[in-house]
Amino acid sequence: MTYQATSMPSALQIVQADLDAGTVIHLWLKSCRPGLVADLKVAVEDIELASVVTTRTEEFEFRELELAQGGKAVLSFNPLETSVSVIYAFHPLTVRDEGIFILHHASQNAPPVLTDGYHFRPPFGWMNDPNGFGRFGGQVHLFYQHYPHSLRWNTMHWGHAISKDYIRWKHLPVFLFPSDELSQRDDGRGGAFSGSAIPGTGTEESIRVFFTEQVRDRKPEEQIQLSALSRDGISAQAPSVIVPKRPEGLDLTLDFRDPYAFEGPDGNWQMLLGSRDKAGGVVLLYETLDPEGAGGWTFVGTLHREDRYGMTAAECPCILPLGDRKNPETRWALIFGLLTSRDPTTGRRNITSVTVGRFDGRTFEREAEQELDFGSDAYAFQAFVDDGGPVAIAWLANWTDVSKKEDFATAMTLPRRILWDGCAVLTPPVGSVTSLRHLQIDDAGLLATGERLSLLSGAVEIELDLVMPGTPFELLFEHPDIDLGVRLDTEGLEILFFDRKAKSSPRYLATGARPSTVRVFLDAGSIEVFADNGRWVGTKRLPSVSPVTSVRLAAASGAITSARVWQLKL
């Protein structure tokens, strides 16, 4: 099978591809003249179609084409009459190995053009929260909040990708679509909001997902909880409602979302939901005796309450054991976002918190808490327990920076382990990130001498070993659009960031941090700092995908015992 799309210069926009029998094509299109839906035309020539199904209509009409025989497919449309957002092709039998093949996307939903880049990005359109991060059928699956047709938030779908190592991903077909009611509206008023996934039953590839359906102005509930089953791990069956309303008597606002399903200490399925009352954010606990998790969900109680930093709702809660979940002495980590929170000392917004304690399946006994990321751009943090222990990923962005008037290309953070050292939660990057090391570009140790070092494409990892914990240093980066650096001094560990187009910026500071080792990952549009095996972690989205071009280290003589720099590449 050869997926090779070519656009032919003519009055028509023509996309050609050599495809095998059984190939499925997904495409979204609409008339350039409102009201003339019947004039939409996409021609497929030189090949027989087994089926053409138009299943949903929204701003764009969605069509699914299945090819009865192989050959050259020629898809053509007149761009003056028909707007086509996305065309991709895949074969159901090989899509897990090959992924989808993008045949066409419009300019308004095109991903950024990068020389190199190793963070997960969608193949087209908008992305925010990770949903349903987990291992199913032997592969790691990542679902995510997705709007296919532009680089701005709108009616939510679920995108989907798979990986064998958390780092190298293959994109799969769009997994969840908005309901028919929402599909007919182009106003960003709802959709398939955030959620989670557990293994399904019946087949090895089966996955059951949980999500919030948002319909603004719906009475009495804007947000309700749904579940859908996928037998093949590729496409979802019709969802059903599992929690139709908020629990009574708690004076909750309409915020009631982000179901996170997990296996409780007794082996039964449980679920967290984020909400809000007049005092602040609350995390709600549900449970079911249904071994498939398909129904029977009942409210247990309020698991946790948080009202710091002027927050409103608790968003995207997740909880996971930091050891054997059946052992009553095992600590559990409860993680959630503090929506609209603001740290008055640094000015950072939308902080993510992790609270550690004992969880018996009914109550959570708090023992310790800390901020999860001092850079604040690791939001909607979601984790699952893999064979080697808990693994997590987050949206590499912050709602404070999102504008409805500007495109906003984002990525996911590097996947991270979650460890408990008895005093603090550690979130180092997964071990497979070392496979990205393509070339060591500082063989002579120039960085340690204070010389300016060229960083080629800007996709690099820098690792510093300090002579003593807390030894001061500064890494100063050269970037065309921002002032950027990393500093360790008596105040703590800080990402130095200033957007030259902005009037001011928060401080991204881990107060009191005194690490001995620091790892810095730079990529198009991001910087991630991991100190002392993830004891302190800072993630910052950069407002430009232009690469960092060079770095200079400022430190006292003998302060740095080792400095290594690698060019990174997928």
pLDDT tens digits, residue range 353-386?
A: 999 999 999 999 999 999 999 999 999 999 999 9
Rounded CA-CA distance 109/150 in Å is 4
Tokens of 6: 């070519």
pLDDT of residue 38: 37
Contact 195, 208 (CB under 8 A): no
Tokens of 299: 């409210």
pLDDT at 133 over 50: yes
Closest CA to 489 of 507, 516, 471: 471
Residue 178: cis peptide before it, omega within 30 degrees of 0: no
pLDDT at 1 over 90: no
Rounded CA-CA distance 111/79 in Å is 20
β-sheet bridge partners, residue 53: 64
pLDDT at 111 over 80: yes
Average pLDDT estimate for 454-480: 95
Spell out a b/e string for 540-568, using b for 16 or more CB atoms within 10 Å of the CB, else e: bbbbebebbebbbbebeeebbeebbbbbb
Tens of pLDDT, residue by residue over 396-435, are: 999 998 988 889 988 999 999 999 999 999 999 999 999 9
What are the residues whose beta carbons fall under 8 Å from the beta carbon of 342, sequence distance 6 or more? 309, 310, 348, 349
List C-alpha distances in Å: 282 to 129, 190, 277, 316, 458.
Answer: 19, 22, 7, 11, 41
Confidence bin at 504 (pLDDT 50/70/90)? confident
Side by side, which strands form the sheet with 550-554? 453-454, 550-554, 473-478, 482-489, 492-499, 508-511
Tens of pLDDT, residue by residue over 35-62, are: 665 355 677 777 777 777 766 656 788 8
pLDDT of residue 404: 83
Rounded CA-CA distance 458/201 in Å is 45
Residue with tokens 């640094």: 346
Tokens of 359: 């969880």
Tokens of 454: 């060229």
β-sheet bridge partners, residue 207: 199, 230
Rounded CA-CA distance 484/497 in Å is 5
Closest CA to 342 of 317, 303, 309: 309
Using left for φ > 0, alpha for ψ between -120 and 50, and beta otherwise, residue 403 falls in beta
More confident residue, 77 or 393: 393
Average pLDDT estimate for 562-569: 94
This model's pTM is above 0.75:
yes
pLDDT of residue 53: 75
Average pLDDT estimate for 193-206: 94
Contact 143, 160 (CB under 8 A): yes
pLDDT of residue 44: 74
Tens of pLDDT, residue by residue over 282-338, are: 999 999 999 999 999 999 999 999 988 889 999 999 999 999 999 999 999 999 999
Average pLDDT estimate for 522-547: 96
Average pLDDT estimate for 211-229: 94
Average pLDDT estimate for 5-14: 65
SS3 189: coil
- Give the containing element (helix H, strand E) for 97: helix 95-98
Confidence bin at 503 (pLDDT 50/70/90)? confident
Closest CA to 27 of 84, 73, 70: 84
Average pLDDT estimate for 129-141: 96
More confident residue, 310 or 494: 494
Percentage of the chain beyond pLDDT 90 is: 76
CA 59 to chain centre: 24
CA dihedral defined by 373, 377, 379, 384, rounded to 10 degrees?
-60
Confidence bin at 30 (pLDDT 50/70/90)? confident
Average pLDDT estimate for 199-226: 94
Rounded CA-CA distance 143/150 in Å is 18
What are the residues whose beta carbons fall under 8 Å from the beta carbon of 472, sequence distance 6 or more? 487, 488, 489, 490, 555, 556, 559
Closest CA to 428 of 315, 562, 534: 534
Average pLDDT over the chain, rounded to whole? Answer: 91
Average pLDDT estimate for 221-227: 96
SS3 109: helix
pLDDT of residue 58: 60
SS3 of 431-497: the string is: HHHHHHEEEECCCCCCHHHCCCEECCCCCEEEEEEECCCCCCEEEEEECCCEEEEEEEECCEEEEEE
pLDDT of residue 184: 52
Tens of pLDDT, residue by residue over 142-185, are: 999 999 999 999 999 999 999 999 999 999 999 999 876 655 55
List C-alpha distances in Å: 16 to 19, 65, 555.
Answer: 9, 15, 57
List C-alpha distances in Å: 56 to 61, 144, 263.
Answer: 6, 20, 35
